Structure 1
């Protein structure tokens, strides 16, 4: 196993290209667009699982310092929940298709709900273990990036720590001069220096206290993350009860997503307006969190691919585009294939 890990880490670029090509080729198999899709989907799932394992091997590679030649121990020795979450995410489509094949279209939602409940549980666990930070890629990527140093929340937190010593740049010039004089006492002649006296023991280290103004913001952000985590499970449960053609699951999921994103925006960028207190600073998200917010905004486009909105509006627009491009050589056949792929994707959304 160690030999395989070393081989994967040495050839990760080459393997990444091969895996991407294999995953792309599974979409162009003839059986993919026919009634028998279970075998091609199983092949695609196997390729995805191999990709997930190889990415985990590369991500957990020990870093060796170029100067000290010391191997850094892993930062998180606990169970790799993000890895298990990625595995479940790769298998969920195969579980849904297998359930539809063996149980029927109407009875497949119970196994799908079990998978979504498992994913929600693991994401809540990852959220708890990460200190309630924003989940990156649905919890599959650890949120390791620190906040920017210029973040107003960090400045407020540091200035409101009890017993904290102010920096030299914030001290008056007279105090700086006295501190410099005190530090240079040891360099004066012995006849000018007072006899040493017993110094009291150093005070215990001060503890960090979270500012009271940031406590409701933190709870608000946690509420938004929990809503976004539970949304897929609640969406499947609504489909299981009301059916895929009903507007209730679609509208309920949209409302939960909108509420979660509004809470995220309000608690992160506009907390002074949300809580009615202008003294509350704005927390600047890290680069990793900004990318995650952008990713969540892009995922809103999936609502155009979900029933019943797709059946009533999106699908009709696609048919019009296909009819318009059908007489055009090459573009007509490509448009037909694109519409078939979009229909296939809509069933997985």
Structure 2
């Protein structure tokens, strides 16, 4: 058992080295797995296999981003306990559709609904814990923001030598940072200093940018601390978090074909957005999340019973018109129309928060 753990540890260390040394190749591999899941979904009726590959690609991206963040030592204003909860939440979010489909295949509809309830109880409990205990403010979805690899890693590489950073601490004033460039006296050419040279695989062959002023940093920093929520906003976020459970409870009470669960869920989502109010004092990350929630209201057009009564025929007619008049569109519209009933029957997609 110990030998097995050592072998696994060595394999994982080699994998971490590969991810850090060739993150562009890693991105291509992740995209390949995702495209493969789309291809299987379009050509095969085995939705469980395609969803397994899609979930695996998302979890792989999450793992690789975590490795790159840790290696590049990108600063995160998140305590370790909160970070662990967010990671658990992200894993559930990326796996929930696969779990729903796999359970339906193994245990039928009753097993599927039981799995859906368990997933949303876990998600709501974790989000309420983040909201009430860790004061996480308005929570984004997915819970762990994905890393903009090219932008953030290249910026980090320009600012510091990732491989030598632990050994460059000098006895001088820690608040004073050595200049990254110097100017040649005769030619006037600006040259990067040796201490500011990043590792070979992170080099962009461009001079480091001038350090931003503190005010600019605050405006551009997407990882600023969450905005403290007043009483109204706290209730609004609590409503948003509890909406899936309220909707599931109303489905159980009134049935799948009743309008009451649809109306109740839409009222909760709209009320939550109105209770948050003017977003001007929120962080950029929180404003982006509120905008995403506004766009997600469009999903109510695809949610039953509204979809069955009003949207279904109109969407099909619109797709057919596009396929008839737009050259080449039928190659996209056909698979979309075939997949739409399958997608509409997956709770994790249609009722995503």
Q: TM-score range by the shorter chain?
A: 0.5 to 0.7
Q: Summarize the Cα distance change of 1:126–1:73 in structure 2 as closer, same or farther, 3 Å threshold.
A: closer
Matches within 5 A, 1:15-30: 15-29=26-40
Counterpart of 2:170 in structure 1 is: none
Deviation, 1:336, is: 1.7
Matches within 5 A, 1:167-316: 218-265=230-277, 268-269=278-279, 284-316=281-313
Deviation, 1:239, is: 2.5
Equivalent of 1:137 in 126, 137, 141: 141
Residues in 1 aligned to 2:109 and 2:18: alpha-carbon distance in whole angstroms:
43
Moved over 6 A (4+): none
Q: Is the 8 A contact 2:59 2:94 kept in 1?
A: yes
Looking at CA atoms only, which structure, 1 or 2, has the larger radius of gyration?
A: 1
Which moves more between the two structures, 7-16 or 86-95?
A: 7-16
Equivalent of 1:320 in 295, 305, 317: 317
Residues in 1 aligned to 2:19 and 2:261: alpha-carbon distance in whole angstroms:
43
Counterpart of 2:335 in structure 1 is: 337
1:119 aligns with 2:119: no
RMSD (Å), alpha carbons:
2.8
Deviation, 1:263, is: 0.6
Deviation, 1:30, is: 5.5
1:100 aligns with 2:98: no
Deviation, 1:287, is: 1.3
Residues in 1 aligned to 2:323 and 2:140: alpha-carbon distance in whole angstroms:
41
Counterpart of 1:207 in structure 2 is: none
Residues in 1 aligned to 2:251 and 2:340: alpha-carbon distance in whole angstroms:
21
Residues in 2 aligned to 1:48 and 1:73: alpha-carbon distance in whole angstroms:
21
Equivalent of 1:76 in 65, 76, 79: 79
Question: Aligned residues, how many?
Answer: 253
Which moves more between the two structures, 310-319 or 12-21?
A: 12-21
- 5+ unaligned residues in a row in structure 1: which ranges? 65-71, 143-215, 270-282
Residues in 1 aligned to 2:63 and 2:246: alpha-carbon distance in whole angstroms:
29
- 5+ unaligned residues in a row in structure 2: which ranges? 1-11, 147-227
Q: Is the 8 A contact 2:93 2:142 kept in 1?
A: no
Residues in 2 aligned to 1:312 and 1:24: alpha-carbon distance in whole angstroms:
33
- 1:206-246, CA deviations, whole angstroms, 9 ceiling, x for partnerless residues? xxxxxxxxxx9711111111110111222223223433322
Counterpart of 2:94 in structure 1 is: 90
Residues in 1 aligned to 2:122 and 2:342: alpha-carbon distance in whole angstroms:
25
Deviation, 1:129, is: 4.4
Deviation, 1:137, is: 2.1
SS at match of 2:80: coil
